[in-house]
Amino acid sequence: MDNQFYLVHKKILPDFIDDIIKIKDEIEEDGLSVSNACEKHNISRSTYYKYKDYVFKPIKNSTSKAIISFRALNVKGVLNSVLAVFAESNANIVTLNQDVPIKDYAFITVTIDISKINIQFDSLLNKIKNIDNIKKVELIAFEG
């Protein structure tokens, strides 16, 4: 199955998913440590770390953005291939950061506006994963 993302009602999810969202908010907004926030909500740290990168609170606005990081071999043309996928998909690049390559790997983080993309978001990620010399693709954040 190609679709990796679903929109589901929280009614069918385990109760602790709400707590994961609250913990993420408290860490970001209130500066709580992961340990303190997990203890406050009676959630184990391992449960928090297992789900934290896969649950997001919906945000209502006119744009949708995603932050994607990837690790690529430091060879000519890889970044250009990634940018071509974004262009073909009608994804608008908001920011792009590439660190100095270390041990032949370039670490790149891109924020894109996906409000007008012309393919499914998981298909966009798969296209990037399938580019030669891309070794890892990770969704860091999603706002939609």
> Is there a domain that residue 3 lies in?
no
Q: Which two tokens stand for residue 98?
A: 């590439």
78 with 111, same domain: the answer is yes
22 with 71, same domain: the answer is no
Averaged over 42-49, what is the pLDDT?
94
Averaged over 84-89, what is the pLDDT?
95
94 with 28, same domain: the answer is no
> Is there a domain that residue 45 lies in?
yes
- pLDDT tens readout for residues 19-30: 999 999 899 888
**pLDDT at site 1:** 40
72 with 43, same domain: the answer is no
> Is there a domain that residue 121 lies in?
yes
- pLDDT tens readout for residues 94-144: 999 998 999 999 999 999 999 889 988 888 999 999 999 999 999 888 876
**Beta carbons within 10 angstroms of residue 70's beta carbon:** 21
> Is there a domain that residue 5 lies in?
no
47 with 71, same domain: the answer is no
Give the domain extent around 111: 65-143
**pLDDT at site 23:** 93
- Name the phi and psi angles at 83, rounded to 5: -60, -35
> Is there a domain that residue 8 lies in?
no
Tell me how many domains the chain contains.
2
